[in-house]
Amino acid sequence: MSRLLTQIYLFEEIFAALQEAFPDAEFVVEDKPVDDTFLKLAPEKVRPVAELLIEKFDIYHLSTITGDDAGDGVRLLYHFWSSYGLTLDTLLPYDNLRIPTLTDLIPGAAFYEREIQEMLGVTFEGLATPGPMFLPDDWDGSFPLRRQRLQKSQ
């Protein structure tokens, strides 16, 4: 029970700091299983919020970045962990699949961003890309995790 209270208390502090730093931005908070809180925000706010989390709250552990073709765009989820989970949830429209990279703040994000770049076609501005990561060298250039491929096979 005390862990849950710590989570609520710490998250309120974080939310207050975010609202102070970005007064005009819209943040939607949702609690998700297991032990996670999702923070929906606009794509251009991801990098400043990540900077704030790292500098002010020492939340530096990025578990992974999930890319998901949600039907109305590509959804990116940045899963952070600091005694409980905190996920930044953003949606990129199909006609503008670009977002700045986090690798200068968190070098460990490189593999996750490269994977999303390869599987979903999102461009991470500022990311060094030395070639394909999981797909073979002679791949035809399509994006395996996009919806159209799933619908075609069904």
Partner 1 sequence: MSKITVPIGPQHPLLKEPLAFSLTLEGEHVIESAMRLGYVHRGIERLSQERTYVQNVHLFERVCGICSHIHTTTYCQGVEALLGLEVPPRGLYLRALLCELERIHSHLLWLGVQARNIGFDTIFMYAWRDREIVLDIMEDLSGGRVSHAVNIIGGVRIDLTTEHRDVILRQLDTLEPQIETLLDVVENERSFQARTRNIGVLSLEQIRRYCVVGPVARASGLDMDLRRDAPTPPYDRLKFRVPVRYEGDAWARTMVRMLETVESVHLCRQILTTLPDGPTSVRAKRRVPPGEVVSRAEAPRGEVIYYIRSDGSDKPARVKVRTPTLTNLITLPDQLQNISMADVSVVLSGVDLCIACADR
Q: Closest distance between partner 1 and the C-beta of residue 82, in Å?
A: 10
Binding span for partner 1 by CB under 8 A among 20-28, 42-50, 93-101, 131-139: 131-139
Q: Smaller CB distance to partner 1: residue 23 or 141? A: 141
Given candidates 33, 125, 138, 152, which one binds partner 1 under the rule CB under 8 A?
A: 33
- Quick one: tokens of 66? 């999930």
> To the nearest whole angstrom, how small is the minimum distance from the Cβ of residue 60 to partner 1?
5
Query: What span, in angstroms and rounded, lies between the C-alpha atoms of 100 and 123?
Result: 8
- For partner 1 (CB under 8 A), the number of binding residues is 42
The interface with partner 1 within residues 68-127 (CB under 8 A) comprises 68-69, 77, 79, 81, 83-85, 87, 106-112
Q: How far is CA 73 from CA 37, 56, 93, 113, 121, in A?
A: 22, 31, 4, 17, 11
User: According to the binding rule CB under 8 A, does residue 55 interact with partner 1?
Assistant: no
The rounded distance, in Å, linking the Cα atoms of 42 and 92 is 9
The one-letter amino acid at 33: P
- Single residue of 47, 48, 64, 123 touching partner 1 by CB under 8 A: 64
Q: What are phi and psi of 4, to 5 degrees?
A: -65, -40
Query: Six-digit token pair at 5?
Result: 């209270």
Please state, in angstroms and rounded to a whole number, the distance separating the CA atoms of residues 88 and 138. Answer: 34
CA dihedral 42, 4, 51, 115 (to 10 degrees): -70
By the criterion CB under 8 A, which residues form the site for partner 1? 32-36, 38, 60-64, 66-69, 77, 79, 81, 83-85, 87, 106-112, 130-136, 144-145, 149-150, 153-154
